[in-house]
Structure 1
Amino acid sequence: MNFFTRAIKNVTRRMSKSILLAVTFFLIGNLVIIGLGINNAAEQAKIETRQKMRAVVSYEVDYDAFRKYVEDLDEEAQQEAYKNYPSVTMDDIKNLMSDERVKTVNVLSTNMLYSNGFETVPLNNDRENNGGGTMTYEDGTTVEYIEPDLKLQTNYFPNMIELEDKMYEIVEGRFYNQEEVDEGKMVCLITDKLASHNNLRVGDVITIDLISKNDMRYYEQSGITEDDIHMNLEIIGIYHNNDELDENSDEYKWMSRYDSPDNTILAPALAYGNAYYNMGIKQYEYSKAQNPEYYVDSETPTPESYTYVNKAVFLLDDPLNVDQFVADHQSDLKDFMKIDANNDTFKKLARPLDTLSLFSNIIVWIVAINAIVIITLVTALTLKTREYEIGVLLSIGVSKMKIVAQFFVELIIVALIGFTLSVASGSLVAKQVGKMVMDYQVDTESQYGSLDDQNNGTIYWGETNYFTEISQDDLLAEYDVQISPMIIAEIYILGIGVVFISILIPSFMIMRFNPKKILMNQN
């Protein structure tokens, strides 16, 4: 008779002991299922939420860190620190772009400018219907105030996050290429509604004014002419902007035309830099001639100096790669620079889930350790009652390893029965228990302040917040305790592991048995 057959017979022969052990494994299994179910639901909720978030990270100056650093310096050291003020450089951006996980990058500059020779798409809101305004200068001159009516959005690269996300869709023509970006070609894309409103087509040239004509009186003294304020752009593409305004909102009533998505024009960054340079260099030379002492150490402006870069936003290929991307490049950051993935907000909102994961893992470990201790003690104690059986088996030539294997199989059979029953009951209980502990945890966390306070990084005027705005309700909506086949497999693996470890100490005891001594003592 082999050890496996003997194990089955012993399980059925000692029914009361087998039932007691099965109940023990049943209770252990239920607790483990609840713990694993809650932990899996919490982790899965975070993964599901991450996957719904835009996979973006921003690279920018860590102003808080720099400010704290400067505060501790003396006045002379502070002046030196400000001379070496940290900044975002194109070399740093291109280095991050070389990562294969990067799909595209936005290094945007947004400027509110004036249409010339064409009309921007009207909003027909309260602001426009109430007419414009007037401005009175110190000399008593009153002029009509002309508000900017369009938004010029420029990028340093021939792609945009909005294009990848289908917020912008090119319907005719093309987007500008890298050569046009590097050379600052005077090209642009306009929206389909702006094109339709003015009967514009690809190949047409539009004129944008950098300043209002009414303000020319303050620039003429420096030699600036109307030609200098004109920015002539060739239309190379027409796109549809899927961003829409809510006409019923209070904000819409007082919006300016440049707030309308239909009046957003896209162009290479240096196109604006080159255009403004023609006006800016004259202002610089005029001011330098008037006050030369203030310009001794100053650098002559360049087209690039009018397209100041303060942030780069990278779109990655997968939201789940965001954390690893940040970790991989953290060590390469220069002083007072940071890569922000909006993790502070996400971690704050996920705090209840993290707490549940921690406690559920602790429960599983405590249950597993206690199970090992209990089963080890039970097995060791029962060896005394089975010494004669062991002695007989040893005397007829059964190896000690086979006897240990028999004990192992006996426990495995009982454990499988107990865990199988626990899978059925635990699946029903885990969902309710998971909901109860989550509700309790959220109520506890809310006592320490709102969990929906968000900090989506440093947002400058005129910039777009590319971080997906989430609330705790969005995150917790993904929390659902389900007992998956993977969890069931983990239960059985854990059970086998508990039995294996539990049989180690009794196996050492069996190895010390002497069959002759055992049988003589029995007689």
Structure 2
Amino acid sequence: MIKNAIAYITRKKNRTFIIFVILTIVLSCLYSCLTIMKSSNEIEKTLYESSNSSISITKKDGKYFNVNQFKDIEKLKEIEEIIIQYDGLAKLKGAKVVSGEQKINREDLSDEFKNVVSLEATNNTKRNILFNSEVFTIKEGKNIEKNDKNSIIVHEEFAKQNNLKLGDEVDLELLDTEKSGKIKSHKFEIIGIFSGKKQETYTGLSSDFSENMVFVDYSTSQEILNNLENNKIANKILMYSGSLESTDLVLNKLKELKIDESMYSIEKDSNVFEESLESVSGIKHIIKVMTYSIMLGGMIVLSLILVLWLRERIYEIGIFLSIGTSKMQIIMQFILELIFISMPSIISSLLLGNVLLKVIVDGFINSEDSIISGGSLINNSGFMLNIGALGQSYLILISIIVLSVVFASSLILIKKPKEILSKIS
């Protein structure tokens, strides 16, 4: 069978070339579609991480709460990162706030609430919604991270007005708004300078302006407030997981911790991810339809061509049957012929498929307002992912070959050998 198959494809060069082109096109299309489908699965995970989806715990009255009462959340293995956030006010010493047009004028302000900035203490500013959404952008230096101490990042306008640069110090006197008292001042080193303008709420304080907002590391803020390990306070606890399923699991486990829901709010924020997921799901659906259409179209085209060509080979089939060759052996020879022709198409399909992949991606998602860029899909298709997709595509192609040969051959081979031989004569 192998010898006969090789002899046929080497002698019938034109037919071999036509079949080669068809198989290459089908394999290239399958490879492109499967690569995008596999890449989109990876992008779903990347999207979830970049969407900043989280579960938050806050007090319903908006006041501070003791963090220690929620220490059991550290035992939940689904949580990859916990961020504690403390919001407050701080009075500047040796520096001046950026002034602006204030929509609310208050003449009752005491000296304590003049020249104040809004302060947010956290162990990861990169996760902060203002930075994650690029409302604020780091221009110089870096974000505050978990192990930073005595660190602060300030607005570029604030830094410009006070002639501050990276490495300089800002002296802050934290205000305890709940107890109406001042805390001793502390000097923070500037490790980052950011720019941007947030949506401002006006209360008549200088801290209302974006330019007068500062971010400091959480651990230092608690040391200044004289809060020991078991007495740390916060306005919000944020928990991050690696996937939507893990987040839902965390949400269910939090309910088992019997948190007083009359005092605390537990909320899941995954709106950005779910909106982004609609784009990915739409792409996956279209690619699935394309893949099934290519499979069906390839099988129909290949079957029709084989039907025409097998009619011309009826003499050859008759001879095989007359010398005792079984119908299964004849079908296997036809299948081997196509498999031998398809082998060189693997290399050409890898090249053509990558070109086609870029065309498909650009056509679907290379719009300016697209949440997913075309490059992200292509960049997520690594070498091993491409080889895996090509391997799966080739297995599908072999299935198409087998089904096409069986369908085309059955129209002739269902007849008895005597009928086939009588047609030859």
TM-score range, shorter chain: 0.5 to 0.7
Q: Is the 8 A contact 1:400 1:510 kept in 2?
A: no
In 1, Cα distance between equivalents of 2:339 and 2:97: 78
Q: Aligned to 1:371, which of 295, 298, 305?
A: 298
Q: Aligned to 2:113, which of 135, 146, 167?
A: 146
Matched, 1:109 2:36: no
Deviations 1:351-389 (A, max 9, x none): 555434432331121011121233234435544444443
Cα RMSD between the aligned structures?
A: 5.5
Partner of 2:93: 120
Question: Residue type of the partner of 2:238?
Answer: V
The 5 A counterparts of 1:38-77 are 53=50, 57-60=54-57
171 and 434 in structure 1: CA distance in 2 versus 1, 3 angstrom threshold: closer
What's the secondary structure of 1:102's corresponding residue?
coil
Q: Aligned to 2:4, which of 3, 6, 11?
A: 6
Q: Aligned to 1:312, which of 233, 237, 262?
A: 237
In 1, Cα distance between equivalents of 2:57 and 2:10: 70
The 5 A counterparts of 1:69-468 are 96-112=73-89, 120=93, 122-123=95-96, 125-126=98-99, 135-136=107-108, 144=111, 146-147=113-114, 149=116, 160-161=123-124, 167-168=144-145, 210=176, 229=181, 240=189, 242-246=191-195, 259-261=213-215, 266-268=220-222, 311-316=236-241, 321-329=242-250, 337-341=266-270, 344-349=271-276, 352=279, 354-380=281-307, 382-417=309-344, 420-432=347-359, 434-439=361-366, 442=367
Question: Residue type of the partner of 1:375?
Answer: L
* TM-score, length basis structure 2: 0.62
Q: Aligned to 1:503, which of 405, 412, 418?
A: 405
> Which structure's CA Rg is the greater one?
1
What's the secondary structure of 2:358's corresponding residue?
helix
1:11 Cα deviation after fit: 2.2
Partner of 1:461: none
1:7 Cα deviation after fit: 0.8
In 1, Cα distance between equivalents of 2:80 and 2:382: 36
389 and 409 in structure 1: CA distance in 2 versus 1, 3 angstrom threshold: same
Q: Is the 8 A contact 2:89 2:207 kept in 1?
A: no
Question: Residue type of the partner of 1:339?
Answer: K
1:332 Cα deviation after fit: 5.1
- Identify, as 1 or 2, the structure richer in strand: 2
408 and 239 in structure 1: CA distance in 2 versus 1, 3 angstrom threshold: farther
1:5 Cα deviation after fit: 0.9
In 2, Cα distance between equivalents of 1:371 and 1:340: 45
Greater alpha carbon shift after TM alignment, 258-267 vs 397-406: 258-267
Q: Is the 8 A contact 1:416 1:492 kept in 2?
A: no
Partner of 1:489: 391
Identity of aligned residues (%): 14
Partner of 1:447: none
1:403 Cα deviation after fit: 2.3
388 and 14 in structure 1: CA distance in 2 versus 1, 3 angstrom threshold: same
Q: Is the 8 A contact 1:26 1:421 kept in 2?
A: yes
What's the secondary structure of 1:167's corresponding residue?
coil
